[in-house]
């Protein structure tokens, strides 16, 4: 295993590595590189505040979607390129913030300007500067809600969350996305759509997600795939090969988005949250009761493709103001297959690998937000095999698996058909079940300040699929030498 100094020498031996080595913590130049992102309450009292207002004003007034000095350009990038519910969600957005921050400096003429972040774990309500409807306020947009406390929980920062990327067990990326998505939903307005970069609060929100990611990874990167310069080191994970794409002529090498310091960025605080802000309703107040069961037309197990089989579901489940539960019954053959997949996930012996499927997924298929709910203001928390009453956080963690709202449906549909999937294989392994002849699914409605009435999401089918999916990127579990990630 490389030492920390050896790791830095590897970077310095390459042309590409040398370009980023000056940003590494402890380097002589690191202290002189501008890049400290401040929390909004600090930022608005700093000399950068007026520069930020100036840049946002200019970028809002410019409606040319082909011009990087327009928020419309950055919204178009988000619509066309961003990965949500997919690998690289965190790393892609880190590069997106890097490029946007550089454009802020150009638009403002302030080379020292850095993006601020909004610490909603300390201040769950939108900063007042974003809610003042004065005609000359560039930060104001019409939104449905200001308080995002109901979207917050501490699950991403639990000691058991060690791995990084989506598709691995006990992974941080999908857990933090379950914080990210409902914040979009509860704010609502354009934030509940893929055009959300038109709202200035989008950038503070993503800077906060980036800060939380960095804080979680410290001090040594936990289970993030190891990366030095991939052009000079065979020991780097292929996870970081290639580049993130944003627009024509606008890319960034993936490996540079491993650590924000490699992009010349640091944060005023690098601590993870240890408590929720006052009056936060999520995690749910204990005890939490399972919603009543409702019967919908069932669908039977069937082959969907060479790599996917449905084992059952329901047609047109109802999503409105109510919280509901459903039962899905499996035939004996499919129940045995599910048991085999779960056993393979639990056991280190590769000989127990399943023969026909290697993942169990909850699928929300043919989803569309209704006209009355397109502005957000709500989301649903999903539970698998939820007990009659949840009276501990541990019980919540063994049944909760995802959130769903207007933003997530929009994210799933902007590249094609709206199908949202959640891998629950690891969750089932944690539940230590032996009988897989029946599953229960529950969705609990969570409202923001101004929730919509009536039906919110139309769903063609809610079902359970077994899939044979190759990992999106081979990523060996390499934590790297002590101190290789940040300081």
Render pLDDT for 331-359 as a digit per residue (tens, 0 to 9): 999 999 999 999 988 866 544 445 556 89
**pLDDT of amino acid 486:** 59
Per the rule left: phi > 0, alpha: psi between -120 and 50, beta: everything else, 376 is left
**pLDDT of amino acid 226:** 84
| Strand-pair partners of 363 | 421, 463
Nearest of 108, 91, 187 to residue 146 by alpha carbon: 187
Cβ within 8 Å of residue 268, ≥6 positions away: 36, 37, 38, 39, 42
What percent of the chain shows pLDDT beyond 90?
A: 75
Arithmetic mean of pLDDT, 353-367:
81
**pLDDT of amino acid 77:** 98
Number of residues written out for the chain: 487
Cβ 221 vs Cβ 477: under 8 Å: no
Cα-based distances in Å from 172 to 221, 226, 251: 12, 16, 25
Q: Which runs of consecutive H residues, i.e. helices, occur in 240-328?
A: none
Q: How far apart are CA 320 and CA 145, in angstroms?
A: 18
DSSP state for residue 254 in the 8-state scheme:
G
Q: Tell whether the model's pLDDT for residue 70 goes beyond 70.
A: yes
Confidence tier at 282 by pLDDT (50, 70, 90): low
Tokens 């007990």: give the residue.
387
Confidence tier at 168 by pLDDT (50, 70, 90): confident
Looking at domain 4-267, its CATH class is: mainly alpha
Residue 388 has phi, psi (to 5 degrees) of -60, -35
Residue 188 has phi, psi (to 5 degrees) of 70, -165
What percent of the chain shows pLDDT beyond 70?
A: 83
Cβ within 8 Å of residue 429, ≥6 positions away: 342, 345, 346
Looking at domain 288-467, its CATH class is: mainly beta
Over its C-alpha atoms, the chain yields an Rg (Å, rounded) of 23
Cβ within 8 Å of residue 455, ≥6 positions away: 318, 319, 320, 370, 372, 373
More confident residue, 417 or 472: 417
Render pLDDT for 300-316 as a digit per residue (tens, 0 to 9): 999 999 999 999 999 99
Average pLDDT, the chain: 87
Render pLDDT for 19-65 as a digit per residue (tens, 0 to 9): 333 333 333 333 334 689 999 999 999 999 999 999 999 999 999 99
Tokens 């939104």: give the residue.
143
Arithmetic mean of pLDDT, 67-77:
98
Among 74-88, 224-238, 311-325, the least confident range: 224-238
User: What DSSP element (H or E) covers 210?
Assistant: helix 201-217
Confidence tier at 279 by pLDDT (50, 70, 90): low
Q: How far apart are CA 6 and CA 484, in angstroms?
A: 10
Domain segments of the chain as ranges: 4-267, 288-467
Q: Tell whether the model's pLDDT for residue 455 goes beyond 50.
A: yes
Confidence tier at 3 by pLDDT (50, 70, 90): very low
Task: Give the range with max mean pLDDT: 232-246, 260-274, 335-349.
Answer: 260-274
Among 50-64, 76-90, 352-366, 375-389, the least confident range: 352-366
Q: How many CA atoms lie within 13 A of 269 on its CB side?
A: 19
Crossing angle (nearest 10°) for helices 48-61 and 89-108 = 100
Residue 288's SS3 state is: strand
Q: How many other CB atoms are there within 10 angstroms of residue 60's CB atom?
A: 16
Render pLDDT for 395-447 as a digit per residue (tens, 0 to 9): 898 999 999 999 999 999 865 558 999 999 999 999 988 899 999 999 999 99
Q: How many other CB atoms are there within 10 angstroms of residue 16's CB atom?
A: 15
């Amino acid at each position: 295993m490389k030492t920390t100094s050896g790791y830095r020498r590897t970077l310095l031996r390459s042309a590409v590595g040398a370009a980023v080595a000056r940003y590494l913590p402890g380097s002589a130049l690191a202290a002189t590189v501008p890049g400290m992102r401040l929390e909004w309450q600090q930022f608005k009292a700093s000399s950068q505040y007026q520069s930020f207002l100036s840049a946002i004003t200019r970028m809002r007034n410019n409606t040319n979607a082909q011009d990087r000095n327009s928020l419309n350009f950055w919204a178009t990038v988000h619509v066309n390129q961003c990965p949500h519910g997919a690998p690289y969600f965190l790393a892609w957005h880190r590069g997106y913030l890097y490029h946007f921050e550089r454009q802020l400096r150009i638009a403002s003429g302030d080379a020292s300007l850095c993006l601020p972040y909004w610490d909603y774990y300390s201040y769950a309500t939108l900063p007042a500067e974003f809610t003042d409807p004065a005609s000359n306020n560039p930060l104001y947009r019409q939104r449905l809600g200001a308080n995002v406390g109901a979207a917050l929980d501490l699950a991403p920062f639990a000691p058991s969350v060690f791995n990084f990327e989506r598709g691995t067990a006990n992974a941080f990326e999908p857990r933090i996305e379950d914080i990210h998505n409902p914040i979009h939903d509860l704010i609502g307005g354009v934030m509940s759509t893929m055009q959300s970069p038109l709202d200035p609060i989008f950038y503070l929100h993503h800077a906060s997600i980036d800060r939380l990611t960095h804080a979680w990874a410290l001090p040594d990167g936990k289970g993030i795939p190891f990366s030095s310069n991939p052009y000079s080191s065979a020991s780097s994970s292929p996870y970081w090969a290639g580049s993130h794409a944003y627009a024509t002529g606008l890319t960034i090498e993936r490996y540079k988005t491993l650590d924000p310091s490699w992009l010349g960025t640091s944060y005023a605080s690098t601590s993870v949250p240890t408590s929720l802000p006052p009056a936060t309703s999520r995690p749910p107040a204990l005890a939490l009761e399972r919603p009543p069961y409702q019967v919908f037309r069932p669908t039977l197990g069937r082959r969907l493709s060479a790599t996917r089989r449905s084992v059952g579901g329901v047609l047109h489940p109802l999503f409105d103001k109510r919280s509901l539960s459903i039962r899905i019954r499996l035939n004996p053959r499919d129940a045995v297959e599910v048991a085999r997949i779960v056993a393979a996930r639990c056991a280190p012996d590769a000989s127990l690998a399943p023969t026909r499927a290697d993942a169990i997924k909850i699928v929300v298929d043919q989803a569309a937000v209704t006209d009355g709910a397109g502005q957000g203001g709500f989301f649903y928390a999903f539970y698998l095999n939820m007990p009659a009453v949840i009276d501990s956080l541990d019980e919540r963690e063994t049944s909760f698996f995802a959130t769903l709202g207007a933003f997530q449906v929009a994210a799933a549909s902007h590249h094609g058909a709206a199908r949202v999937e959640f891998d629950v294989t690891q969750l089932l392994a944690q539940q230590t079940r032996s009988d897989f002849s029946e599953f229960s699914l529950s969705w609990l409605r969570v409202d923001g300040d101004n929730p919509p009435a009536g039906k919110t999401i139309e769903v063609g089918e809610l079902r359970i699929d077994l899939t044979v999916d190759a990992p999106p990127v081979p990523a060996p579990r390499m934590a790297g030498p002590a101190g290789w990630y940040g300081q």
